[in-house]
Amino acid sequence: MRDREILLGVTGGIAGYKAAALTSALVQRGAKVTAVLTPAAEKFIGAATFAALTGRRVVTDLFDPAEPLGAHISLARRAEFLCIAPATADFMAKIAHGFADDLLSTLYLSFRGPVLLAPAMNCEMWEKPSVQRNVAQLKEDGCRFVGPESGWLSCREIGAGRMAAPEIILAAIDALCVEFPPQV
């Protein structure tokens, strides 16, 4: 994983705190991580957390003046992998249908490499036929999934929908690194 360029997309869910632990683990393994937060993600966990963990600026704005080609283009071209953790039902619906109304969804459409999604949501949401249709579409489009797990959810229920543990997501990223070796 050393020196591999990884984009970590964080969407708006309470599981964002696990994304911080995942970021720390990736950086400790030598990965170069750039965090991209949706506006909803910033309501749960701040950009300063990811900046401190990655040593890089966090990108949140589609119209970032520091990225003259557009952040969605420059970040997509630089990265080898895109991991979205947590991936909310809303975000998965957007990308399953090609919507691009924020930086992360636009970045997804611009990105040509492997995409790993770590869903996180309430168990009732996860079980909805519309969510399952979106998951099926994303799998058909080539996205890979890790989780969700079953267990205690922040809604005080026990069921499927909990984001996979950071070490499980890390193992999935490790597998991608083996499957897609660095380009020489």
Cβ-contact 22, 28 below 8 angstroms? no
Q: Which SS3 state, helix, strand or coil, does residue 18 take?
A: helix
Distance CA 122, CA 14 (A): 11
Long-range contacts of 107-110 (CB under 8 A, 24+ apart): 107/7, 107/9, 107/36, 107/71, 107/72, 107/75, 107/76, 107/82, 108/9, 108/82, 108/84, 109/72, 110/72, 110/73, 110/76
Distance CA 4, CA 176 (A): 11
Active site residues: 155
Pairing of strands 149-152, 158-162: antiparallel
Distance CA 34, CA 121 (A): 24
Pairing of strands 149-152, 32-37: unpaired
Tokens standing for residue 167:
């070490």
